[in-house]
Amino acid sequence: MLYLVPTPIGNLEDITLRAIRILKEADVVLAEDTRTSKVLFQKHGIETPLRAFHAHNEHGVTAGIVEQLQRGATIALISDAGTPGISDPGFLLVRACVQGGVPVSCLPGPTAFVPALVASGIPCDRFHFDGFLPHKKGRQTRLRYLAALPHPFIIYESPHRLPRCLEELIAACGPDRQACVARELSKLHEELHRGTLAELREYFSQQAGKVKGEIVVVVQGSA
């Protein structure tokens, strides 16, 4: 069995009892960054061996992992934060397991865009999650597509790219579109800034170099 185990996006207490049990019982845990995962393991007394599994090696090691699973191993996959496969490595391994007849089970748990959306104050009965935008080719085309959606859309962004991203969102959606920028969710310095795109641009232009942590941007749908 391959288990996909969501891990905390910030606060290390945001993990289920079942997730801790699976991580303890697995033969090996595949981790995006073993150094990051060791902190979580120490917090919860997990001693299962860790093995690196990330975007740079997943193509090369996936076949070997599937063979292990087919021989009867129980393996858990985690990312640095949140649910594996959501803007993180995991899809290739899941697909290979499905094709190889290996059972796959995904535990419910943390995903950064859900608390950002729900706490944004923007209607969330329907929404579109887009993850990280392309850095260059296709970026403007994608932004125009998102700007025309009738329901909110959600993107991830890095701190140093946020000012440019807000400028691009204004160009695509107009300055008066309501939005929310969330960072450091579930951590000590959690912040959610709400307002029009123009107001958010003004605020974050004054915070150059001070913004840290992963960024979630929620933008209201087109009228």
What ranges do the domains of the chain cover? 2-106, 113-219
Max Cα–Cα distance, the chain, nearest Å: 57
Tally of CA atoms within 13 A in the half-sphere of 14 that contains its CB = 18
Helix then strand then coil, % of the chain, to nearest 5: 35, 20, 45
CB 175 within 8 A of CB 197: yes
Residue 26: per-residue pLDDT: 98
The pTM is what?
A: 0.91
The fold of the 113-219 domain, in CATH, is: 3.30.950
Q: If one looks up domain 2-106 in CATH, what number appears?
A: 3.40.1010.10
In this chain, the answer to whether the domains covering 2-106 and 113-219 adopt an identical fold is: no
Which residues on adjacent β-strands are paired with residue 157?
215
Which residues on adjacent β-strands are paired with residue 156?
132, 216
Buried b (16+ CB within 10 A) or exposed e, 105-131: ebbebbbbbbbbbebbebebeebebbe
Residue whose tokens read 């594996």: 84
CB atoms within 10 A of CB 30: 27
CA distance 223 to 220: 9
Q: Residues 6 or more apart from 152 whose CB is under 8 A from it?
A: 117, 120, 122, 123, 124, 126, 127, 128, 218, 219, 220, 221
Q: How would you write the pLDDT of the chain (223 residues) with one tens digit per residue?
A: 999 999 999 999 999 999 999 999 999 999 999 999 999 999 999 999 999 999 999 999 999 999 999 999 999 999 999 999 998 999 999 999 999 999 999 999 999 999 999 999 999 999 999 999 998 899 999 999 999 999 999 999 999 999 999 999 999 999 999 999 999 999 988 999 999 999 999 999 888 778 888 899 999 999 8
What is the DSSP secondary structure assignment for residue 53, as one 8-state letter?
A: -
